[in-house]
């Protein structure tokens, strides 16, 4: 089913964009395919409509998304903090895509909250907080990119969508459904894909750029983690993988090298809950995936103040890898599939 947008919201957006605007689009920390695709796709369209749009991410995206047009122009706040702050402070519109609580943009949360700009939210995570002036929140949709496309169509801008923008939008639809393997039974997804193909998207090339462009180091790191760093708890149908700074050094780890890896243990019929504990220089990141009805976002929020979707969630813990492992193991003993 197409999204039945509220007329009033579409009119508000139309009114705001009726004159050329300076707009900054924000994606969440460690932006994934959906964050990168939705921000780059929407930015490209805003440019076509005569606005001046800039993309800001708190931290870098994975090399897998370098192929997307406009990716190299995005500002990474961690690398260019002053420029990123200026982009937020000088914006007339702050468009927040693929996140729904300000803490997801970490060091940019305060400037975002303090800004007087019109705040627009486009997102599909459950439990949205209400920091935005105009909110397009649809937790039943499989990706923010899908919502962005439907919004563009509802606003009557489909003809202004370039092949490049369409490609960025397709990318997030593909990555947030694991290449249309889960959350992907809504027929609307395939209507939209058909329309994106008409716009010139080369979907097989997008698949190759993201899933068949690994380095050999990444391949070997993945094999090492699966063989030597996966602990299986048969009684809880759970697997926990740990990724240490030491292993990252040994395998020449690049940002994004473990993207998607947390899904792999779910290939085993004995595993319904998969956890990746990833050591970063100053904290530890936890990624969680499940198949079936076990809600990993509840697990993430109950024990680690994190969040996400039923089958995909994350959290950050300010502790060492070994301490975080103990916490996760304890949490699994309490709550598991």
Interface with ligand 5GP by CB under 6 A: which residues? Answer: 28, 32, 287, 306-309, 312-316
For the chain, the straight-line distance linking the first and the last C-alpha, in angstroms and rounded, comes to 31
- Counting Cβ atoms within 10 Å, is residue 329 exposed (0-12), middle (13-18) or buried (19+)? middle
The 3-state secondary structure of 165-231, one letter per residue? HHHHHHHHHHHCCCCCCCCCCCHHHHHHHHHHHHCCCCHHHHHHHHHCCCCHHHHHHHHHHHHHCEE
Task: Give the residue with the Cβ less far from ligand 5GP, 37 or 314.
Answer: 314
Question: 3-class SS at 70?
Answer: coil
Which residues pair with residue 25 across a beta bridge? 55, 95
CB 104 within 8 A of CB 28: yes
Please state whether 317 falls in left (phi above 0), alpha (psi between -120 and 50) or beta: beta
Please, which residues have CB within 8 angstroms of residue 158's CB and are 6 or more apart in sequence? 152, 195
Which residues pair with residue 135 across a beta bridge? 121
257 binds, among ligand 5GP, Mn ion, none (CB under 5 to 8 A by kind): none
Report the nearest approach of Mn ion to the CB of residue 142 (Å). Answer: 8
111 binds, among Mn ion, ligand 5GP, none (CB under 5 to 8 A by kind): none
Q: Is 123 an interacting residue with respect to Mn ion (CB under 5 A)?
A: no
Task: Give the residue with the Cβ less far from ligand 5GP, 51 or 303.
Answer: 303
Interface map 57-96 toward Mn ion (x if CB under 5 A): ----------------------------------------
150 binds, among Mn ion, ligand 5GP, none (CB under 5 to 8 A by kind): none
Number of neighbouring beta carbons within 10 Å of residue 11: 10
Report the nearest approach of ligand 5GP to the CB of residue 279 (Å). Answer: 15
Task: Give the residue with the Cβ less far from Mn ion, 139 or 156.
Answer: 139
CB 90 within 8 A of CB 108: no
Longest dimension (CA), the chain: 60
Question: 3-class SS at 309?
Answer: coil
272 binds, among Mn ion, ligand 5GP, none (CB under 5 to 8 A by kind): none
Task: Give the residue with the Cβ less far from ligand 5GP, 47 or 126.
Answer: 126
Please list every residue from 19 through 58 that binds Mn ion, using CB under 5 A. Answer: 34
Q: Nearest residue by C-beta to ligand 5GP?
A: 314
Please, which residues have CB within 8 angstroms of residue 31's CB and are 6 or more apart in sequence? 39, 57, 59, 61, 98
Report the nearest approach of ligand 5GP to the CB of residue 288 (Å). Answer: 7
Q: Is 98 an interacting residue with respect to Mn ion (CB under 5 A)?
A: yes
Report the nearest approach of ligand 5GP to the CB of residue 281 (Å). Answer: 16
Task: Give the residue with the Cβ less far from ligand 5GP, 69 or 178.
Answer: 178
Report the nearest approach of ligand 5GP to the CB of residue 285 (Å). Answer: 7
Choices 4-12, 136-144, 249-257, 328-336; region in contact with Mn ion by CB under 5 A: 136-144
93 binds, among Mn ion, ligand 5GP, none (CB under 5 to 8 A by kind): none
CB 119 within 8 A of CB 94: yes
Report the nearest approach of ligand 5GP to the CB of residue 186 (Å). Answer: 17
242 binds, among ligand 5GP, Mn ion, none (CB under 5 to 8 A by kind): none
Q: Is 272 an interacting residue with respect to Mn ion (CB under 5 A)?
A: no
Which residues pair with residue 26 across a beta bridge? 56, 96
Q: Which residue is it, tokens 């994350």?
A: 314
Choices 152-160, 176-184, 290-298, 302-310; region in contact with Mn ion by CB under 5 A: 176-184
316 binds, among ligand 5GP, Mn ion, none (CB under 5 to 8 A by kind): ligand 5GP
Would you tell me which residues interact with Mn ion (CB under 5 A)? Answer: 34, 98, 144, 176
């Amino acid at each position: 089913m197409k999204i039945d947008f509220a007329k009033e919201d579409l009119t508000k957006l139309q009114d705001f964009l009726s004159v050329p605007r300076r707009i900054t689009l924000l994606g969440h920390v460690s932006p994934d395919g959906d964050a990168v695709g939705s921000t780059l796709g929407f930015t490209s369209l805003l440019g076509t409509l005569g606005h001046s749009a800039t993309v800001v991410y708190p931290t870098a995206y994975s090399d897998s998304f370098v192929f997307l047009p406009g990716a190299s122009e995005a500002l990474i706040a961690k690398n260019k903090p002053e420029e990123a702050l200026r982009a937020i402070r000088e914006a007339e519109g702050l468009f927040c895509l693929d996140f729904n609580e300000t803490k997801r943009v970490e060091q940019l949360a305060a400037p975002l909250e303090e800004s007087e700009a019109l705040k627009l939210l486009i997102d599909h995570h459950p439990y949205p907080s209400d920091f935005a002036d105009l909110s397009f929140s649809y937790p039943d949709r499989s990706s923010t990119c899908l919502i962005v496309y439907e919004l563009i169509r509802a606003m009557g801008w489909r003809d202004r969508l370039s092949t490049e923008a369409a490609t960025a939008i397709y990318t997030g639809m593909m990555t947030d459904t694991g290449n249309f393997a889960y959350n992907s039974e809504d027929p609307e997804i395939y209507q939209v894909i058909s329309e994106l193909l008409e716009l010139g998207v080369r979907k097989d090339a997008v698949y190759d750029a993201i899933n068949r462009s690994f380095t050999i180091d990444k391949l070997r790191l993945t094999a090492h983690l699966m063989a030597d760093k996966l602990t299986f708890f048969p009684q809880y149908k759970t697997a926990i993988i740990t990724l240490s700074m030491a292993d990252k050094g040994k395998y020449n780890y690049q940002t994004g090298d473990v993207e998607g890896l947390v899904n792999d243990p779910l290939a085993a019929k004995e595993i319904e809950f998969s956890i990746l504990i990833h050591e970063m220089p100053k904290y530890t990141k936890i990624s969680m995936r499940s198949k079936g009805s076990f809600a990993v976002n509840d697990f993430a929020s109950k024990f680690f103040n994190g969040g996400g979707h039923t089958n995909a969630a994350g959290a950050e813990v300010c502790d060492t890898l070994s301490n975080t492992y103990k916490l996760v193991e304890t949490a699994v003993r309490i709550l598991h599939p």
